[in-house]
Amino acid sequence: MQLENKVALITGAGSGLGLATAQAFAREGARIMINDLREEVACHAASALGGEHASIGGDVSREADVDAMVRATLDRYGRIDILINNAGVPDSFVPTVDQPLEHWQRLIDIHLTGTYLVSKKVAPHMIAQGSGSIVNLSSIAGVLGLPVRTAYSAAKAGISMLTRVLGCEWGPHNVRVNAIAPGYILTPMTEELIREGKIDSDRVRRRTPMGKLGRPEDIAEAMIFLCSDRARFITTVIIPVDGGYCAWGAPSDAYTGELTGAIG
């Protein structure tokens, strides 16, 4: 029970990585406010967790919605110990010259501005209580150049720097700010991209030293560590959870073993 009696606000937690994190946090004793853009999805996820967990809809890029989700969490639990900035939307995989400005703006608003805005609204309460842990979702797309993923990559790189800046600013108040940079993880979104032919899972596995894709639980376990007291002296770091993908630099396959039917 590494997070016993901790209160966590998790954005975008109705499915995928956010839901896996909520499930893992509940297992470790945390009380969770699940946010999702789709209120009914957030409500269903919280109900499935049972116990003292709750939900609220809202768009992380809208200040009024963020104010409401922070206030709802404080009204219900009296404090916020953990913030997971997980909310995000998928990229279009369209060449940059063909991308409408609206697409760029929406991804920047949700990923980068949303992370900034929710952190800004939660931080005063963490500072007042003298403790807190914020974990942001960056990506290997914020480290490596991924063609046609322009807005997504720029937003994730921004989140990494925002993590460092806020961690330095709020460290004196014992508020830690870190980030996870997932590699290719088998979320419903990734599985759909594989089915559509936008991601070649065999090529990804060959490029990954561990020869497989990750699973949502892999991200959740890293989140638990960063939010636990075991990480009490860790702040401003961006941890890749990618099976070694970002580290591989040789002009050859990283994994030369047999590719099994299971991709994760």
Find where tokens 């460290």 sit: 171
Dihedral sign (CA 59, 57, 153, 63)? positive
Instruction: Measure the CA–CA gap between 225 and 196, rounded to whole angstroms.
Output: 34
Instruction: Measure the CA–CA gap between 241 and 245, rounded to whole angstroms.
Output: 9
Q: Residues of the chain with pLDDT > 90: what percent? A: 91
| Domain spans, the chain | 7-183+215-240
Give whole-number Cα distances, 29 to 148, 258, 263, in Å: 41, 40, 31
Q: What is the mean pLDDT of residues 25-31?
A: 97
pTM, 2 dp: 0.96
Q: What pLDDT was estimated at residue 228? A: 98
Instruction: Measure the CA–CA gap between 188 and 185, rounded to whole angstroms.
Output: 9
Q: At what angle do helices 39-49 and 16-27 cross, to 10 degrees?
A: 30
Do 25 and 219 touch, CB atoms closer than 8 A? Answer: no
Q: Is 245 a catalytic residue?
A: no
154-195: per-residue pLDDT in tens?
999 999 999 999 999 999 999 999 999 999 999 988 898 899
Query: pLDDT band at 125, cuts 50/70/90?
Result: very high
87-99: per-residue pLDDT in tens?
999 888 899 999 9
Query: pLDDT band at 27, cuts 50/70/90?
Result: very high
Provide the β-strand partners of residue 137. Answer: 180
> Reading across the β-sheet that carries 31-36, which strands appear in turn?
54-57, 31-36, 7-10, 82-85, 132-137, 175-182, 238-241
Q: What pLDDT was estimated at residue 3? A: 98
Query: pLDDT band at 61, cuts 50/70/90?
Result: very high
195-241: per-residue pLDDT in tens?
998 899 999 999 999 999 999 999 999 999 999 999 999 999 999 99
Average pLDDT over the chain reads: 96
Q: What pLDDT was estimated at residue 233? A: 98
Classified by CATH at the fold level, domain 7-183+215-240 comes out as: Rossmann fold (3.40.50)
Query: pLDDT band at 260, cuts 50/70/90?
Result: confident
Q: H-type helices in the chain, by residue range?
A: 16-27, 39-49, 63-77, 101-107, 114-129, 150-170, 188-195, 201-207, 216-227
Do 216 and 17 touch, CB atoms closer than 8 A? Answer: yes
A 10 A CB-CB count for 195 gives 9
For 180, the enclosing helix (H) or strand (E) is strand 175-182
100-122: per-residue pLDDT in tens?
999 999 999 999 999 999 999 99
Query: pLDDT band at 261, cuts 50/70/90?
Result: confident
Candidates 77, 116, 152, 184; catalytic one:
152
Instruction: Measure the CA–CA gap between 130 and 127, rounded to whole angstroms.
Output: 5
